[in-house]
Structure 1
Amino acid sequence: MIRTATPADIPVIRALIRELADYEKVPHEARATEAQLRDALFGEHPAVYAHIAADDTTGDPVGFALWFLNFSTWRGVHGIYLEDLYVRPTARGTGHGKALLTELARICVERGYQRLEWSVLDWNAPSIAFYESLGARPQDEWTVYRLTDEVLARLGRPV
């Protein structure tokens, strides 16, 4: 069962983010607070969206997808950038990950978006195999760059 997240889901979304950070071996990077998530997802100007995967029997959350809109200047339309997709290990292999991606693909088709994109760590072979089994293909010609923390502050400092 996939459903749109509600404000009541904020604590579980934060917990799932922390579980994902542990899985990706960077627990110190998961610094988002419940207040930040509430503002981003449900504040005055929401810029991020989330869906919850729930156990079909109990209704308990077992995973989530957190995403936002991007824009293709070449195609002239929005797309979805999937920031995080995570399913708890006990629920993997039961279709929750595919159901989350299917819901995002449905939103793309319904709204005329032409891309659904995400990044995956090079070492995450199980996820890569899963994504490729759905027909996703890596964009080998692109390299992700990032500015954060002190480097971002230094570059963005007023001149």
Structure 2
Amino acid sequence: MAEDEKSLIGYAGLTFDYALWTACRFAHVDCLFVCEIARGQGIGKHLFERACRLVGEAGAERIEWQTPVWNLDAIRFYERQGGIGQVLCLKGMVTPRLLGSRLAYASSINDPRTNALARRKR
């Protein structure tokens, strides 16, 4: 979660699952949201980096998420974070993921502003 002095301004939901084909744990970002008024301040990046660190600490092999194909801002955001996407045409979703060295890099970023509760002042 990220909040300013008055209210919640962003959050990320993370779940873990087990891939039967690879016999490995992976993580899924269920939702990453930052209020429109707080966007462009690095809050989403910090929330995503924290999620990547949690995935690394849990020993999962990758992190995945889904983004609607019409949400170009979100797609660009995840591409800047190193996400590699594939379009699932039937569902109209983009399913990016971070694997191996990209996940290791994202989870190793040390930023004191990113912790279990990221507080931002406006």
Q: What TM-score, normalized to structure 1?
A: 0.52
Pick closer, same or farther for the CA change 1:123–1:87 going to 2, 3 Å. Answer: same
- The Cα RMSD (Å) is 2.1
Equivalent residues in 2 for 1:1-150, closer than 5 Å: 52-55=1-4, 58=5, 60-140=7-87, 144=91
SS at match of 1:74: coil
Gaps of 5+ in 2: 93-122
**Deviant stretches of 4+, over 4 Å:** 141-145
Question: How many residues matched?
Answer: 92
**Which whole-Å deviations, capped at 9, do the CAs of 1:12-55 have from their partners, x for residues lacking one?**
xxxxxxxxxxxxxxxxxxxxxxxxxxxxxxxxxxxxxxxx1123
**Which whole-Å deviations, capped at 9, do the CAs of 1:98-157 have from their partners, x for residues lacking one?**
111111100111111011111001011111111101110112368559xxxxxxxxxxxx
Amino acid at match of 1:74: W
Looking at secondary structure, tell me which structure has more helix per residue. 1
Looking at secondary structure, tell me which structure has more strand per residue. 2
Q: What TM-score, normalized to structure 2?
A: 0.67
When Rg is computed on C-alpha atoms for both structures, the one with the higher figure is 1
Amino acid at match of 1:108: V
How much identity, in percent, do the aligned residues show?
30
Gaps of 5+ in 1: 1-51, 146-159
Amino acid at match of 2:2: A
SS at match of 2:87: coil
